[in-house]
Amino acid sequence: MTTKTLNPLDASWLMVESRDTPMHVGGLLRFSLPADAAPDYLRRLMADFRSSRKFTAPWNQRLRVTSLKGLMPAWEVESDIDLEHHVRHSALPKPGGERELGQLIARLHSQPLDLTRPPWECNLIEGLANNEFALYVKMHHSLVDGIGGIKLLERAMTGDEKSSRKLPAFWSAGAPAKGAGRRSRKPAPTPAQVIAGVADMVREQVGSLPDIARAFGSMIGALRNKEETLQVPFDTPTSIINGRIHGARRFATQRFELARLKKLADAGGATVNDVVLALCGGALRRFLVELGELPDKPLTAGIPVSVRPKDDEGMGNAITFIISTLGTDIDDPRERLEAITASTRRAKTHVQNLPKKAMTQYTMLLMAPYMLSLLSGVGGRTRPMFNITISNVPGPDKPLYYRGARLEAAYPVSLVTHGQALNITCQSYAGNLAFGFTGCRDTLPHMQRLATYTGKALEELETLLLGASQKPAPVRKSRAKKAAAPAPLAKATQPARKRSTKAASKVEPAASAESAVAKADAAKPGKVTAKPKAAAAADAAKTDAAKPKTVKRKATRPKPTTAKAEKPKAATRKAAAKPTPKPKAAKAPRKKAAKTTASPVAVKAADTAS
């Protein structure tokens, strides 16, 4: 039987597997049903899945059971695969929304894979809103990494809707694995071949030692130099996301247009990855501030970087790690982005100085303390190597189709470990960048808020870098509305309205019906205008002069109306008979009004400025 030995990095994911820390990764694929889909489209699709008996790598690989401890595990080809176990059918109560779908994915992702079988599962999910369905696929991380998973996705779909209707099942796409369907065994290597292979490996390891030593030496130098922007392992704070975890998971999603992120990257002199880190840093800062758990020192992120050649079709892990600050100690979003950009540039320069042959050894030495902490059980009890893992996986830039259904979005579902209760992984597809937030259910209550706060962090950056006219933040919108509610004239006339009301209440104790109507009209927005004191006095005189005319018009009406009109007339004459107290009575209210109106004007100015 054909076998393939796992490299040390792939094997390490098997070593740290446990009930609380299952080491599988997944993907949530959301499709819209074809326009001509029959009512039994999904039932027939499920039946077709379970009848597809052709398997390609890595779908047909399972771990070989070794009889001796300490030997490196290997993959072997399995032809007898139980699709009733691997392919499952789920449904949400219609219409299932984002929240219900996220809860189902969290529950499915919490279950470990059966490592005695090929380590993968596929769930067909129906009942989604907007005439959609979903596929959730998970695989063990020792079998596939992010880039390998994207290649599986591209291989199984097509950009043409018509030709996609004849596509086979996901595990049948591509060329069959070598040795599939037949029992064969490679000829055993001769002693000379074994010795030659070991000698080549030793020479390669020894030759890369000076480069690896220089790389770690520069890290030690960064600890001594406070001006150095290179982030080093374990130079991190401890936070609530760095404790022990349990098996249950939470899952949340977010999605942005790539054009928005690229515009911000150009405006800030950064990359799209830098902008992604800035959004995550801003969201984490707000989330931890709400919980009262924000450390004084900035959180750091471990960022997987692919070192896979473009022509490499392998599915195993071909990555290294860089470490960057998240700027969670910085309140200003622009300054946070600048700090992150400087940190990632320095980290990339550090890794790029390594030759390709030394990359695997460097990664193993870099990640060895992290893996040892998980194997020894001290993970989550000591200072973390970095606080959180944030990945950005490039995906197809054009829409894909499968069986006539258009792929609308692809969300990555990653893993968490002791010491890292949260993982954020992004994947680009067809002009959008989808975020998948995976976390420990017990450690992170209300984790869905992180997805919301990522959107707010994006709006804050757009406001600062592109101007408020581009995309103002929600907080600033509400303040602007409060300041703009009164009309410009109404602001100036509110004090005058208060003065005239108080003066009328003291000078004319028995106000007429006409004056009450006039006051009501004056109180309506937009009808009151600011006038000087002299103009106000002239208007009062005109009002008094106009009242007899009003009484004459009302005198022609029926008696009940005329009787009511007589009282205001008498009241007006009574007030006119005492002209001398008017100035004295008006002075006191003016002083009081000046005191009361000074405060509102100052408050409005402050609101507008904020």
Q: Kindly tell me if the per-residue pLDDT of 42 is higher than 80.
A: yes
What per-residue confidence (pLDDT) applies to 474?
39
Token pair, residue 160, equals 């043409």
85 is catalytic: no
Identify which has the larger pLDDT, 577 or 1: 1
Closest-CA residue to 336 (of 392, 283, 266) = 283
**CA 352/CA 344 separation, integer angstroms:** 12
N- to C-terminal Cα separation, the chain = 72
Closest-CA residue to 133 (of 34, 278, 217) = 34
What per-residue confidence (pLDDT) applies to 426?
95
Closest-CA residue to 141 (of 428, 425, 414) = 414
Identify which has the larger pLDDT, 54 or 489: 54
Q: Kindly tell me if the per-residue pLDDT of 495 is higher than 60.
A: no
> What does residue 178 show for φ and ψ, rounded to 5 degrees?
-65, 130
Burial-class residue 56 by CB neighbours within 10 Å (0-12, 13-18, 19+). buried
Q: Are 267 and 465 in contact (CB under 8 A)?
A: yes
Q: Kindly tell me if the per-residue pLDDT of 15 is higher than 50.
A: yes
Token pair, residue 397, equals 């830039």
The most confident of the ranges 4-13, 305-314, 579-588 is 4-13
CA angle 207, 208, 210 (to 5 degrees): 95
For residue range 59-92, what is the model confidence (pLDDT) as tens digits? 999 998 665 555 678 999 998 999 999 999 999 9
- Listed by start position, the domains of the chain span 3-188+229-478, 486-609
Q: Kindly tell me if the per-residue pLDDT of 560 is higher than 80.
A: no
For residue range 407-436, what is the model confidence (pLDDT) as tens digits? 999 999 999 999 999 999 999 999 999 999
Percent of the chain residues topping a pLDDT of 90: 47
Given 24, 109, 140, 141, the catalytic residue: 141
Give the global pTM.
Answer: 0.69
Task: Provide the pLDDT confidence category of residue 156 given band limits of 50, 70 and 90.
Answer: very high
Closest-CA residue to 274 (of 345, 330, 328) = 345
CATH number of 3-188+229-478: 3.30.559.30
Residue 90's SS3 state is strand
Task: Provide the pLDDT confidence category of residue 448 given band limits of 50, 70 and 90.
Answer: very high
Q: Kindly tell me if the per-residue pLDDT of 214 is higher than 60.
A: yes
What per-residue confidence (pLDDT) applies to 298?
95
